[in-house]
Amino acid sequence: MPPTTPQVPAEETWNVVDEYYRQLFIPADAALDATLKSSDAAGLPAINVSAPAGKLLHVLARSIGARRILELGTLAGYSAIWMARALPADGKLITLEFDPKHADVAQANFARAGVASKVEIRLGAALDTLPKLVAEGAGPFDLIFIDADKQNYPHYFTWALKLSRPGTLILADNVVRKGAVADAHTTDSNVQGVRKMNELIAAEPRVTATAMQTVGSKGYDGLAFVLVVG
Ligand code: SAH
Ligand code: DHB
Ligand code: MG
């Protein structure tokens, strides 16, 4: 190939491939479709995980036999429904959300998806609700998905560890941000939050971690996988 040929396909291709896999592996789903529709109709931002990423959360939760899942950042409940569907009948997912409007939209979506009995929304800023979860002995969780405000990711990771046991899988969304994560001089407070969390992870002997870059319908971003080992 001549050196001027772009080596990275255009974003349009990422969408086409996401759609290809969605059609093949992820059958049309009335409850999930209605969740995204209701989110849009209520004016919520379309920042839910993609369908392939939602399915990844589901596959991971099933792989580890998760019975207790914690999510930070509910939005309309799209990712929560994917994970809740991986739970056994007596499993439980707690999801933290500070916007009451988002929580209302999500609650209706959990009911429509038939997972309301397994899902509990804790309303409030996660930095307030996380200490309460610790105080009431809600942990340990088997899977923790961090996806709320990025500035607080370092704190969320620290709380997630307190709610973990050896074997807990902690996932963090949006850890690449179009590559900005590798910029030590970034002035974006979201990216600074992710970098600070990454430094905590790197210095934490109780975890072993990796991160994967992703492209797709949500653009260029990435997901961190942090396994608690001690
Ligand atoms: N996990 C969802 C997307 C979450 S978007 C999905 O993939 O379907 C991030 C959510 O975090 C938003 O709903 C936002 O209101 C919520 N959020 C932002 N800051 C928060 C905070 N401090 N505490 C709790 N929730 C917060
Ligand atoms: C955005 C995407 C996310 O997955 C998220 O959790 C927050 C924001 C965004 O694209 O802005
Ligand atoms: Mg996200």
Residue 150 lies in a domain: yes
For every residue of the chain, DSSP letters joined together read --TTS-SS--HHHHHHHHHHHHHHHS---HHHHHHHHHHHHTT--S-SPPHHHHHHHHHHHHHTT-SEEEEE--TTSHHHHHHHTTS-TT-EEEEEES-HHHHHHHHHHHHHHT-TTTEEEEES-HHHHHHHHHHTT----SEEEE-S-GGGHHHHHHHHHHT--TT-EEEEE--SGGGGGG-TT---HHHHHHHHHHHHHHH-TTEEEEEEEEEETTEEEEEEEEEE--
Predicted local distance difference test score (pLDDT) of residue 3? 58
Structural domain of 53:
10-228
Q: How many CB atoms lie within 10 A of CB 19?
A: 14
- Look at residue 176 and tell me if it is in a domain: yes
| Residue whose CA lies nearest to ligand 1 atom number 17 | 148
Residue 17 lies in a domain: yes
Residues 6+ apart with CB under 8 A from 113: 31, 32, 35, 77, 81, 84, 85
Q: Whose CA is nearest to atom 1 of ligand 2?
A: 47
Give the whole-angstrom CA distance, residue 106 versus residue 93.
13
Centre of ligand 2 from the C-alpha of residue 72, in Å: 13
Q: pLDDT tens-digit profile of 65-92?
A: 999 999 999 999 999 999 999 999 999 9
* Residues written for the chain: 230
Distance 3 CA to ligand 3 centre (A): 35
pLDDT on residue 7: 66
- Supply the pTM of this predicted model: 0.96
Give the CATH number for residue 36: 3.40.50.150
Task: Compute and round to an integer the Cα radius of gyration of the chain.
Answer: 18
pLDDT tens readout for residues 9-47: 788 899 999 999 999 999 999 999 999 999 999 999 999
Residue 5 domain flag: no
144 within a domain of the structure (yes/no) = yes
Rounded percentage of the chain residues whose pLDDT exceeds 90: 94
Residue 3 maps to a domain? no
Mutation test residue for ligand 1: of 99, 104, 189, 221, the one with most atoms within 8 Å of CB = 99
Q: Which of 101, 149, 214, 223 to mutate to test the pocket of ligand 1 (most atoms within 8 A of CB)?
A: 149
Whether 2 is covered by a domain: the verdict is no
Predicted local distance difference test score (pLDDT) of residue 10: 85
Is 78 close to ligand 1, i.e. is its CB under 6 Å away? yes
Q: Which two tokens stand for residue 95?
A: 């999801």
Per-10-residue mean pLDDT of the chain, 230 residues long, equals 64 92 95 98 98 97 98 99 98 98 98 98 98 98 99 98 98 98 97 98 98 95 98
Residue with tokens 């405000």: 149
- Ligand 1 centre to CA of 3 (Å) is 42
pLDDT confidence of residue 192: 98
Question: Distance from the CA of 219 to the center of ligand 3, in angstroms?
Answer: 12
Distance CA 15, CA 158 (A): 34
Does the beta carbon of 18 lie inside 6 Å of ligand 2?
no
- Ligand 1 center from residue 149 Cα (angstroms): 6
**In this structure, is residue 180 part of a structural domain?**
yes
For ligand 2, say whether the CB of 48 is within 6 Å of any of its atoms: no
Total domain count for the chain?
1
